[in-house]
Chains A and B, each alone.
Chain A
């Protein structure tokens, strides 16, 4: 009876709003009496505030209040850790003490009637510091083990490496990168007595409510968070950052709604970043290309007050078959603000090192890079000793290689040319975990044959609005235009964090379960018809179902990941050292694809992100004071239209995974970013004979 909607390339249900300017992002909500906040930030990386003179700011036109640690209300800062918060350490407390731990830390907040007045008055706040020595350069920092230490070992990696017929060991470096969503972070805070409404750019409305409630010492039910459209985030809106607290604090003091929108420059000092990462990989192999040893160490920057960790080395344990493996993860506490997850967190960085090293091994052994990986294809997750719920690496290599024309590759570096351009072909493997978290959803069938379905999920771009509507309509047995899905409001049933590619698996499963229950209830009461519209007409009143959907023990029984393969063609100008990506082909085994049109968008978007990571992106930190010297779009280069490869090809291989979750989906948002950078640097080696192990590969490194 139901129409097949899952799997259809349906256009976005929110598309019309987005192309007409009618989609309302958080900074665009109206609140009566709204005033503006501007943040004053520290100009030293470590030390104490010696004095603050805000008299000039106080007297500036339109200024309502200037808050500093000297006059700001003391906040409760009750313990609270959401899933995206580091497990070890304590979040930054704002305007509570004179201590400064990083460049750009908020030291004052100006509230004024007008935006221009607030920004101007913030310039008038005069702050002096008693600076102390600061560490802002990972080369001068002292990496220490995580709490608890993160080291894994199977077999005898050192012995196996020493005994290997062929071995290599290299260091791979990824600089700090910033998410840089085009929408800057913004919050509007409005109090009504002891209740607070926040319109906040976030990937998790409920966590914002929990965090701000803890900070202010009020019940979470008193905080409503609204966030229907998120203008990109890529991880920057996972945590609840200090500016959200400042907006609420400002609104409380001013007694009026306050809006804070960060400047582009502020986005480099308060919304996290992908940490600077130094990795050492040693591989040992037999001459016929069987891996005998992998040693993979990684050091990453973190703040002095929190231990940020990502799954940097996890994939090393299961990506390729190898009996002897050692991984060791350490952190370097520095005078920076805490890094956070950025698209493909962990895997994107770790796999850059592993897949670069695999390419180096292929060259050393004179074995085709695809063939080398096939010879080391594992039968199960050798780290956890569990079967994969599904793993389509072979199919991905084959499908992408065929589409790419890999068999025509001359393996000799510098052997392929197009006029003066050096042409290189490279590839890499990709993987990302397929997780699922508890989620709730509500489905309400109405007598007129329409339905309302809701969950407090987010949509930072992948198409949650649309894909959930598809799942709901198909499950209810209604045409898609008769189903309205809503998200992004703490008044709706709780959803998990919108990140880690878990939204479809988690919220989708809840939506499906709620819709199934509503439909069954309606048909049971509908007097024998099998048509839900007819049943609802007969019932004559709403039929509602709410479901809490939780994962089972599948993640204990299976190793669950999406896998993929990325193939790239680059052209390198031998005189200018400039690299252009000409073609990119990605094949993904990501379970069921709910909407291939939107999933393709996610994948090409990830590829563009990977091009940025490989060739451009680098938050340049001044080692003397921790300032980011290129904190804007003119100097922090991100890919533009002209950088997009003329040929971008995305293949979803058929994959039926009965274990991973009820919908059989794995998500593609994160994996799309993984493997792209090493495929590009491997192609650059093939083009030029130069192995660049430090990203980004800017022209100077090739000349």
Chain B
């Protein structure tokens, strides 16, 4: 909230950054962008590429709604500057399904009613895919522990865990690590 930033800090931040040209690889497509260097990956996706499936719930790395996969790992896109992730392979919720064929976890979310408002859902699914891929879906308790960075204010946790278990079963036992 701007009013609360100490004046000195605000003055120090009064730089005049020149726009940056960069290329982002998102869901297998290269996008050329000219961005304010302060633009986060999340804002680049939402405001500039209009890939609004990744959600903003805090912008502070505290809610997980912005979770995407970067080079195969789950990351919070609000914590990365777009300029620092050039060349990385970024997958968002829009890139998860194969055409009309939903990813097993997407299908399991619908079947288990693992959401209500749906605003945390992209992040839960992207984190859930990582949870399974990285071998942490071995038990409900392990899933709960690994998914705890993704808040759901609608309280769909019970159903999200069930959906991840279903999908982990469907994509084969991924226990390991």
Tell whether A104 pairs with B1 under 8 Å between CB atoms, given A21-B92, A180-B153.
yes
Contact indicator per residue, chain A 621-662, by CB within 8 Å of chain B (1) or not (0): 000000100001110001111111010100000000000000
Indicate if the CB atoms of B161 and A644 lie closer than 8 Å.
Answer: yes
Tell whether A641 pairs with B161 under 8 Å between CB atoms, given A18-B115, A231-B117, A608-B155.
yes
Q: Is B24 an interface residue (CB 8 A)?
A: no
Tell whether A107 pairs with B153 under 8 Å between CB atoms, given A16-B102, A19-B102, A632-B58.
no
A residues less than 8 Å from B69 (CB atoms): none
CB-nearest residue of chain A to B5? A123
Indicate if the CB atoms of A181 and B117 lie closer than 8 Å.
Answer: yes
Please, how many angstroms separate the alpha-carbon atoms of A19 and B122 in the complex? 6
Chain B contacts with A in 64-115, Cβ cutoff 8 A: 65, 92-94, 96-97, 102, 106-107, 109-111, 113, 115
Q: Is A122 an interface residue (CB 8 A)?
A: yes
B residues less than 8 Å from A606 (CB atoms): 155
Tell whether A124 pairs with B56 under 8 Å between CB atoms, given A182-B63, A646-B141.
no
Tell whether A43 pairs with B4 under 8 Å between CB atoms, given A183-B55, A604-B158.
yes
Indicate if the CB atoms of B113 and A127 lie closer than 8 Å.
Answer: no
B residues less than 8 Å from A263 (CB atoms): 1, 59
Q: Is B159 an interface residue (CB 8 A)?
A: yes
Indicate if the CB atoms of B144 and A641 lie closer than 8 Å.
Answer: yes
Indicate if the CB atoms of A605 and B154 lie closer than 8 Å.
Answer: yes
B residues less than 8 Å from A264 (CB atoms): 57-60, 62-63
Indicate if the CB atoms of B60 and A12 lie closer than 8 Å.
Answer: no
Q: Which one, A22-30, A305-313, A425-433, is touching chain B?
A: A22-30
A residues less than 8 Å from B7 (CB atoms): 126
Chain A contacts with B in 5-35, Cβ cutoff 8 A: 11-12, 14-25, 27-28, 30
Q: Is A234 an interface residue (CB 8 A)?
A: yes
B residues less than 8 Å from A22 (CB atoms): 53, 94
Please, how many angstroms separate the alpha-carbon atoms of A19 and B113 in the complex? 11
Indicate if the CB atoms of A602 and B116 lie closer than 8 Å.
Answer: yes
Q: Is A585 an interface residue (CB 8 A)?
A: no
* Most chain B CB neighbours (cut-off 10 Å) among A21, A184, A234: A21
A residues less than 8 Å from B14 (CB atoms): 56, 60, 120, 124
B residues less than 8 Å from A339 (CB atoms): none
Instruction: Tell me the minimal C-beta distance from B56 to chain A in angstroms.
Output: 7
Contact indicator per residue, chain A 548-570, by CB within 8 Å of chain B (1) or not (0): 00000000000000000000000
Secondary structure type dominating chain B contacts: loop
B residues less than 8 Å from A120 (CB atoms): 13-14, 38
Q: Which one, A90-98, A111-119, A314-322, A693-701, is touching chain B?
A: A111-119
Report which of A21, A115, A639 forms a contact with B43, defined as CB distance below 8 A. A115
B residues less than 8 Å from A641 (CB atoms): 143-145, 147-148, 150, 152, 157, 160-161
B residues less than 8 Å from A15 (CB atoms): 109-110, 113, 115
Q: Is B118 an interface residue (CB 8 A)?
A: yes
Indicate if the CB atoms of A182 and B117 lie closer than 8 Å.
Answer: yes
CB-nearest residue of chain B to A232? B117
Instruction: Tell me the minimal C-beta distance from A568 to chain B in angstroms.
Output: 15
Q: Is A609 an interface residue (CB 8 A)?
A: yes
Instruction: Tell me the minimal C-beta distance from A587 to chain B in angstroms.
Output: 17
Indicate if the CB atoms of B3 and A633 lie closer than 8 Å.
Answer: no
Please, how many angstroms separate the alpha-carbon atoms of A125 and B4 in the complex? 11
Q: Is A463 an interface residue (CB 8 A)?
A: yes
Report which of B43, B55, B60, B106 forms a contact with A634, defined as CB distance below 8 A. B60
CB-nearest residue of chain B to A602? B116
Instruction: Tell me the minimal C-beta distance from A65 to chain B in angstroms.
Output: 15
Please, how many angstroms separate the alpha-carbon atoms of A60 and B2 in the complex? 15
Q: Is B151 an interface residue (CB 8 A)?
A: yes
Please, how many angstroms separate the alpha-carbon atoms of A23 and B110 in the complex? 14
Please, how many angstroms separate the alpha-carbon atoms of A171 and B140 in the complex? 39
* Most chain A CB neighbours (cut-off 10 Å) among B13, B50, B115, B145: B115
* Most chain A CB neighbours (cut-off 10 Å) among B14, B50, B149: B14
Q: Is A532 an interface residue (CB 8 A)?
A: no
Instruction: Tell me the minimal C-beta distance from B173 to chain A in angstroms.
Output: 21
Q: Is A383 an interface residue (CB 8 A)?
A: no
Please, how many angstroms separate the alpha-carbon atoms of A229 and B110 in the complex? 17
CB-nearest residue of chain A to B65? A182
Please, how many angstroms separate the alpha-carbon atoms of A391 and B33 in the complex? 61
Please, how many angstroms separate the alpha-carbon atoms of A232 and B120 in the complex? 9
Indicate if the CB atoms of A633 and B39 lie closer than 8 Å.
Answer: no
Please, how many angstroms separate the alpha-carbon atoms of A639 and B157 in the complex? 9
Report which of A21, A61, A123, A230 forms a contact with B16, defined as CB distance below 8 A. A61
A residues less than 8 Å from B134 (CB atoms): none
A residues less than 8 Å from B38 (CB atoms): 116, 120
Instruction: Tell me the minimal C-beta distance from B137 to chain A in angstroms.
Output: 12
Instruction: Tell me the minimal C-beta distance from A124 to chain B in angstroms.
Output: 6
Indicate if the CB atoms of A21 and B93 lie closer than 8 Å.
Answer: yes
Q: Is B41 an interface residue (CB 8 A)?
A: no
Q: Is B121 an interface residue (CB 8 A)?
A: yes
Tell whether A40 pairs with B119 under 8 Å between CB atoms, given A264-B60, A601-B113.
no
Please, how many angstroms separate the alpha-carbon atoms of A39 and B2 in the complex? 7
CB-nearest residue of chain A to B149? A640
Instruction: Tell me the minimal C-beta distance from A243 to chain B in angstroms.
Output: 12
Tell whether A597 pairs with B109 under 8 Å between CB atoms, given A60-B14, A266-B1, A604-B156.
no
Report which of B4, B106, B117, B156 forms a contact with A183, defined as CB distance below 8 A. B117
Chain A contacts with B in 43-61, Cβ cutoff 8 A: 43, 56, 60-61
A residues less than 8 Å from B50 (CB atoms): 28, 30
Chain B contacts with A in 118-145, Cβ cutoff 8 A: 118-122, 125, 140-141, 143-145
Contact indicator per residue, chain A 180-202, by CB within 8 Å of chain B (1) or not (0): 11111000000000000000000
Indicate if the CB atoms of A632 and B116 lie closer than 8 Å.
Answer: no
Instruction: Tell me the minimal C-beta distance from B49 to chain A in angstroms.
Output: 12
**Besides the contacts A41-B3, A606-B155, A644-B155, what 16 more A-B pairs have beta carbons closer than 8 Å?**
A11-B113, A19-B109, A116-B38, A116-B43, A123-B2, A125-B3, A127-B3, A182-B57, A182-B152, A183-B117, A184-B56, A230-B117, A231-B119, A604-B156, A632-B62, A633-B57
Residue numbers of B with Cβ under 8 A of A are 1-5, 7, 9-11, 13-14, 16-17, 36, 38-39, 43, 46-47, 50-60, 62-63, 65, 92-94, 96-97, 102, 106-107, 109-111, 113, 115-122, 125, 140-141, 143-145, 147-161
- By Cβ-Cβ distance, the 3 closest A-B pairs, closest first, are A21-B53, A608-B155, A231-B119
CB<8 Å pairs between A and B, sample of 18: A14-B118, A20-B106, A21-B52, A21-B53, A21-B92, A21-B94, A22-B53, A23-B118, A41-B2, A115-B39, A124-B10, A263-B1, A598-B113, A601-B156, A627-B4, A633-B63, A642-B148, A646-B141
